[in-house]
Amino acid sequence: MEEKSRIQKILAASGVASRRKAEELLSQGRVTVNGRVAHVGDSAIPDKDRLAVDGQPVVTGGKKIYLALHKPRGFVTTLHDERGRRCVAQLVEDVGERVYPVGRLDKDSEGLLLLTNDGEFANRVAHPKRHVAKTYRVTVRPSVTEEQLNQISTGIVIEGRRTAPAKVRVLQQELGRVVLEIVLYEGRNREIRKMCQAFGIGSGQAQTHCRGTGSSGHAAPGQVQRADERGTAGTDRGSEERGEVV
């Protein structure tokens, strides 16, 4: 007997969306299996049952694609934005396959962003329990104290919950400006910005006082590099992703 899988798992593995987004599609009644509307918790047989999203057939078992994008500032990490802002999807239109981001960088941040149609890989990398390290180079103004650095490394309370311990070191220090390298092991939204706000660095405006200063490897902003799962396997094991915070 052919083994069934949860529909959200099939959609994620086919590069349609992440598992969480796939569950949203199911809740909205936008997914059908063999012509019938599917629901969260339903299962199907990959490569046998006919799945569709918004009437468009889902192709299963296709080639897996892994992309490393140097996301420039000014782009939101999504495939479509209701407010009409520029999306990272516009930077990978020439790929010819539907891919979606693994994790996110803020609109005003730049750095490495992985995109793929491999839902299982994306789930392994993005799941909070995996504690994949993400390295950020951040400029704080006007300065930062040794006590604040220690607090970052041990964890601080943000919105009623303590952050996970992080690694932090000073890369460069000059009058009115300090460049830090911060390695995070959790995926909380806008975590570094909120750390800056919690410390009252500068005027407390995180977008002004946490400014990215570096680049993602040797790629220019907007440049896309292809890889394979072996090339991104280090990320799966917990090696560092580079990102820039603005």
DSSP for 19-50 reads HHHHHHHHHTT-EEETTEE--TT-EE-TTTS-
**What was the pLDDT predicted at 42?**
95
pLDDT for residue 149: 92
What pLDDT is attached to residue 230?
Answer: 53
**For residue 233, what pLDDT is reported?**
43
Question: So what's the pLDDT on residue 203?
Answer: 27
Catalogue the active-site residues: 106
- Per-run averaged pLDDT (10 residues), the chain, 246 residues: 84 81 93 95 90 88 84 88 91 84 83 84 74 82 90 91 92 89 82 83 35 48 76 44 42
Rounded to whole angstroms, how far apart are CA atoms 35 and 224? 37
> What does the pLDDT read at residue 118?
81
Distance CA 64, CA 52 (A): 19
Q: Is the pTM of this model over 0.95?
A: no
